């Protein structure tokens, strides 16, 4: 058993909390603040126990100097301050005298947010490669480390594994809740059906080979399907694809043809836009400039027939580019179906975009559990270890 935040005396201590504030931002606005809301329980607990609360998080990927503007956590500090109903000191640096003196000035119950940890990636990927000196430096800013960022627990970064290697550590309430809720999938009621979609194909595709052993069926739609379809020699036009994974996809299909169900039709368009013309075509009828942005009606019916008798359903990745209203039907209809009386299953959603879609379309409150993790949730439920949790002190 891992130590939790409840196992520490936080009074007057500098408590470093790794949160997952990696929220979707469009046109300078937070589109969905779910991950900030999910962090509140741990932060409020630390405030109530008189801690000096120092928060870390990443936001997106920071590859070039110019990314800093759109990837600053300042906007998160503002939203967090509204949600906590108290001021949050935002330090626009990841290290240095300004950060250290802001921490020195903190009184118990104060909350401070450090700038996006991935700004350190501009400096030789120090955050993402878990640079030893960086983990040691961040740890030196506090007395206790609490990891509550489930969404990045599958990564070994300086802001989780690095800090935890240097000072006493525990998990927060969100990680505790995620582990408890996802344990349903250790011994799922069967049939256990997994739905996979989305666009981060190379992050997720390898998990298919272990998930396929646990699940009774895997339904693959969304951007994820096209790598599998192409590996079978099907024309996929300009649809999203991971060319490096074609061989893997082909092998997985050969090994598990009885378990994997792929989309059989698609809604295609010639331009990546919600305003361009679209049509539904059979999966073998795509032209070389067609972009498949949603599953078609036949796939929706096929997936429903597989889901009808399921007792456990796990879903990661939307079934189309559901941010465009013309390509949201697949995701919407399947969400509607699995939360209706036609299906009597435990339904677990994983991943920021999938959960955001369920919220936008009005189904989030109808599922059994919505996990904050995408890749982390997938790795965990397929039986892999999560380094960000493994490193935490045992009781």
CB of 207 to ligand AMP, least distance (A): 11
From the list 134-142, 150-158, 196-204, 307-315, the region that binds ligand AMP by CB under 6 A is 196-204
Q: Where are the alpha helices (DSSP H) in the chain?
A: 34-48, 67-70, 74-84, 97-104, 132-140, 163-164, 173-182, 201-204, 207-214, 224-231, 246-255, 297-307, 329-338, 352-360, 375-381, 387-390
Residues 298-337 that bind ligand AMP (CB under 6 A): 317-318, 320-323
DSSP sequence for 199-265:
S-HHHHTTHHHHHHHH-SEEEE-TTHHHHHHHHTT---TT----GGGHHHHHHHHHHTTTTEEE--E
Closer of 25 and 122 to ligand AMP (Cβ): 25
The nearer residue to ligand AMP, 38 or 353, going by C-beta atoms, is: 353
Work out whether 350 is an interface residue with ligand AMP (CB under 6 A): no
Per the annotation, the verdict on 35 as an active-site residue is yes
Report the C-alpha gap between 178 and 195 in whole angstroms. Answer: 19
Site for ligand AMP in 279-298 (CB under 6 A): 292-293
240 binds ligand AMP (CB under 6 A): yes
Q: What tokens does 179 get? A: 């582990």
Q: Which residues are CB-contacts of 261 (< 8 A; sequence separation ≥ 6)?
A: 217, 218, 219, 220, 302, 303, 306
Least separation in angstroms between residue 88's CB and ligand AMP is 28
Q: How far is the CB of 326 from ligand AMP (least distance, A)?
A: 12
Question: Does the footprint of ligand AMP cover residue 38 (CB under 6 A)?
Answer: no
Q: Which residue is nearest to ligand AMP (CB)?
A: 198
Cβ–Cβ under 8 Å, residues 141 and 54 = yes
CB of 73 to ligand AMP, least distance (A): 20
Q: Which is nearer to ligand AMP, 24 or 191 (CB)?
A: 24
- What's the longest Cα–Cα distance across the chain? 66
The single residue of 68, 200, 308, 359 carrying the catalytic annotation is 200
Question: With respect to ligand AMP, which residue has the nearer C-beta, 328 or 391?
Answer: 328
> Among the options 35, 71, 126, 217, which is catalytic?
35
Name the segment binding ligand AMP (CB under 6 A); options: 123-131, 179-187, 194-202, 257-265: 194-202
Stretch that binds ligand AMP, among 33-41, 99-107, 212-220, 346-354 (CB under 6 A): 346-354
Tell me the torsion sign for CA atoms 347, 350, 352, 353.
Answer: negative
Contact 196, 224 (CB under 8 A): yes
Residue whose C-alpha is closest to residue 54's, from 112, 116, 137: 112
Q: List active site positions.
A: 35, 200, 352, 375
Q: Which residues bind ligand AMP (CB under 6 A)?
A: 197-200, 222-223, 240, 292-293, 317-318, 320-323, 351, 353-354, 374
């Amino acid at each position: 058993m891992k130590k939790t935040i409840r196992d520490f005396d936080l009074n007057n201590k500098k408590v470093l909390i790794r949160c997952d504030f990696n929220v979707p931002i469009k046109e300078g606005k937070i589109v969905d603040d779910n991950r900030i809301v999910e962090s509140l329980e741990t932060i409020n607990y630390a405030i109530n126990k008189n801690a000096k609360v120092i928060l870390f998080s990443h936001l997106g990927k920071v590859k070039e100097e110019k990314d800093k503007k759109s990837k600053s956590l300042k906007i998160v500090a503002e939203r967090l301050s509204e949600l906590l109903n108290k001021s949050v000191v935002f330090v626009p640096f990841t290290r240095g005298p300004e950060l250290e003196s802001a921490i020195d000035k903190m009184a118990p119950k104060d909350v401070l947010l450090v700038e996006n940890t991935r700004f350190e990636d501009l400096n030789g990927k120090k955050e993402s490669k878990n640079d030893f000196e960086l983990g040691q430096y961040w740890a030196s800013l506090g007395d206790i480390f609490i990891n509550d960022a489930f969404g990045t627990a599958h990564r070994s970064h300086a802001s989780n594994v690095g800090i935890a290697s240097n000072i006493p550590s525990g998990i927060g309430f969100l990680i505790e809740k995620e582990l408890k809720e996802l344990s349903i999938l250790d011994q799922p009621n069967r049939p256990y059906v997994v739905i996979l979609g989305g666009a981060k194909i190379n992050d997720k595709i390898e998990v298919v080979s272990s998930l396929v052993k646990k699940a009774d069926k895997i339904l693959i739609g969304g951007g994820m399907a096209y790598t599998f379809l192409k590996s079978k020699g099907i024309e996929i036009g300009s649809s999203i694809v991971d060319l490096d994974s074609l061989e893997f996809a082909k092998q997985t299909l050969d090994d598990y043809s009885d378990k994997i169900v792929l989309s059989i039709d698609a809604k295609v368009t010639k331009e990546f836009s919600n305003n361009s013309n679209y049509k539904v075509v059979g999966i073998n009828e795509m032209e070389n400039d067609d972009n498949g942005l949603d599953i078609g009606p036949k796939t929706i019916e096929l997936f429903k027939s597989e889901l009808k008798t399921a007792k456990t359903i796990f879903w990661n990745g939307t079934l189309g580019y559901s941010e465009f209203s013309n390509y949201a039907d697949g995701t919407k209809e399947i969400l509607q179906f699995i939360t209706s009386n036609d299906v009597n299953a435990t339904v677990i959603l994983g991943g920021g975009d999938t959960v955001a879609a369920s919220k936008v379309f009005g189904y989030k409150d109808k599922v059994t559990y919505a996990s904050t993790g995408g890749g982390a949730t997938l790795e965990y439920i397929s039986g892999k270890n999560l380094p960000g949790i493994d490193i935490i002190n045992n009781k």
